[in-house]
């Protein structure tokens, strides 16, 4: 089950479980759309993996499957990963 982390690791923007602006890599590193597009070249700065839109968990499932609460924030911001195709 996805952790649904609560914020962008680069800028700290809140990304609640219903957000359509949350993007994750296969390790669930979480970023907002602006950081994904503008700062990160659509690649995870931690693993280099592709960032894809995080699915929204249906509201009725949140009570028994709550989102994560641990905030991760890189105090130095994020360093972009060069896109593998140039």
Q: Is the dihedral of CA 79, 34, 14, 54 positive or negative?
A: negative
pLDDT in tens, 3-58: 999 999 999 999 999 999 999 999 999 999 999 999 999 999 999 999 999 999 99
Residue 86 has pLDDT above 60, yes or no: no
pLDDT given at position 66: 95
Residue 84 has pLDDT above 80, yes or no: no
pLDDT given at position 36: 95
pLDDT given at position 77: 78
Label each residue of 36-68 as H, E or C: HHHHCCCECCCCCCECEECCCCCHHHCCCCCCC
DSSP state of 6: S
pLDDT given at position 83: 61
pTM: 0.88
Q: Residue 64 CB: number of other CB atoms within 10 A?
A: 6
DSSP state of 79: P
């Amino acid at each position: 089950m996805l952790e649904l982390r609560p914020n962008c690791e680069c800028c700290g923007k809140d990304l609640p479980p219903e957000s359509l602006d949350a993007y994750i890599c296969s390790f669930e590193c979480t970023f907002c759309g602006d950081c994904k597009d503008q700062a990160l070249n659509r690649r995870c700065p931690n693993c280099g993996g592709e960032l894809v839109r995080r699915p929204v968990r249906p509201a009725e499932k949140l009570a028994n499957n709550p989102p994560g609460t641990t905030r991760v924030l890189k105090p130095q911001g994020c360093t972009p990963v060069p896109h593998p195709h140039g």
